[in-house]
Structure 1
Amino acid sequence: MKLRKTSAAIATGLVLTLALTACGGDSDDSGKGGGKITIGIKFDQPGIGLKTPDGKYTGFDVDVATYVAKELGFEPGDITWKQAPSADRETLISNGDVKFIAASYSINDKRKAKVDFAGPYLLAHQDLLIRADEKSITKAEDLNSKKLCSVTGSTSAQNVSDKLAPKADLQNYGGYSECLTGLENKAVDALTTDDSILAGYAAQKEHQGKFKLAGLKLSDENYGIGLKKGDKDLQSKINKALEKMKSDGSWDKFVKANFGPANYKNEPAPAITETS
Structure 2
Amino acid sequence: MFIMQLRKVTAASAAVLALALSATACGSSDKDDSGSSGGGKIKVGIKYDQPGLGLQEPDGSFSGFDVDVATYVAGQLGYKPSQIEFVQTKSADRENALARGDVKFIAATYSITDERKAKVDFAGPYLLAHQDLLVKKASTIAKGEDLNGKKLCSVTGSTSAQNIQQTIAPKANLKEVGTYSECIAGLQSGSVDAVTTDDSILAGFAAQDKYKGQFKLAGLKLSNENYGIGVKKGDTATVDKINKALEKMVSDGSWQKAVDKNFGPAEYKNEPAPKIGAIVK
> What TM-score comes out, normalization by structure 1 length?
0.92
Q: What is the match of residue 153 of structure 1?
A: 157
Query: Letter of the aligned partner of 1:64 in structure 2?
Result: V
Find the aligned partners of 1:24 and 1:123 in 2 and give their Cα distance: 42
Query: Aligned partners of 2:109 and 2:275: how far apart in 1?
Result: 17
Closer, same or farther in 2 for the Cα pair 1:31/1:7, shift >3 Å?
farther
**Distance 1:20-1:227 versus aligned 2 partners, 3 A rule:** farther
- Aligned-residue CA RMSD (Å): 2.2
* Deviation >2 Å, runs of 4+: 4-26
For residue 185 of structure 2, give the secondary structure of its aligned residue in structure 1.
helix
Which of 206, 209, 228 is the equivalent residue of 1:205? 209
Structure 1's 229 and 168: CA in aligned 2 closer, same or farther, altered over 3 A?
same
- Structure 2: distance between partners of 1:134 and 1:57: 33
Please state how far the C-alpha of 1:16 moved relative to its aligned partner.
5.3
Deviations 1:193-238 (A, max 9, x none): 0000000000000000110000110000010111100001111111
Larger Rg: 2
Once the two structures are TM-superposed, the CA of residue 7 in structure 1 deviates from its matched residue by: 10
Identify the residue that residue 173 of structure 1 maps to in structure 2: 177
Distance 2:277 2:8 in 1: 61
Q: Among residues 53, 56, 73, which one is paired with 1:68 in the alignment?
A: 73
Higher deviation after alignment, 68-77 or 16-25? 16-25
- Verify: 1:264 aligned to 2:268, yes or no: yes
State the one-letter code of the partner of 1:265.
K
Following superposition, the deviation at residue 23 of structure 1 comes to 3.1
Match of 1:184 among 161, 167, 188: 188
**1:189: how far off?**
0.7
Unaligned runs of 5+ in 2: none
Which segment is superposed worse, 148-157 or 178-187? Answer: 178-187
2:197 to 193, 196, 218: 193
Distance 1:258 1:223 in 2: 16
Q: Of the candidates 83, 90, 95, which is equivalent to residue 90 of structure 1?
A: 95
Partner of 2:35: 30
Query: 1:65, 1:181 → 2: CA distance?
Result: 29
Q: Is 2:127 the counterpart of 1:122? A: yes
Following the alignment from structure 2 to structure 1, what is the Cα–Cα distance between the partners of residues 102 and 208? 31
What SS is found at the alignment partner of 1:218? coil
Aligned equivalent of 1:221, options 218, 225, 229: 225
Q: What corresponds to 1:138 in structure 2? A: 142
> Identity over the aligned pairs, expressed in percent?
66
How far residue 105 of structure 1 moved from its aligned partner, in angstroms, is 0.5
TM-score, with normalisation over the residues of structure 2? 0.90
CA shift at 1:20, angstroms? 4.9
- 1:148 is aligned with what amino acid? L
Match of 2:48?
43
Relative to structure 1, is the Cα distance of residues 234 and 6 closer, same or farther in structure 2, using a 3 angstrom cutoff?
A: farther
Residue 116 of structure 2 is matched in structure 1 by 111
Match of 1:55 in 2: 60
Number of corresponding residues? 273
Q: Which runs of 5+ in 1 are unaligned?
A: none
SS in 2 for 1:267: coil
CA distance in 1, matches of 2:274, 2:24: 42
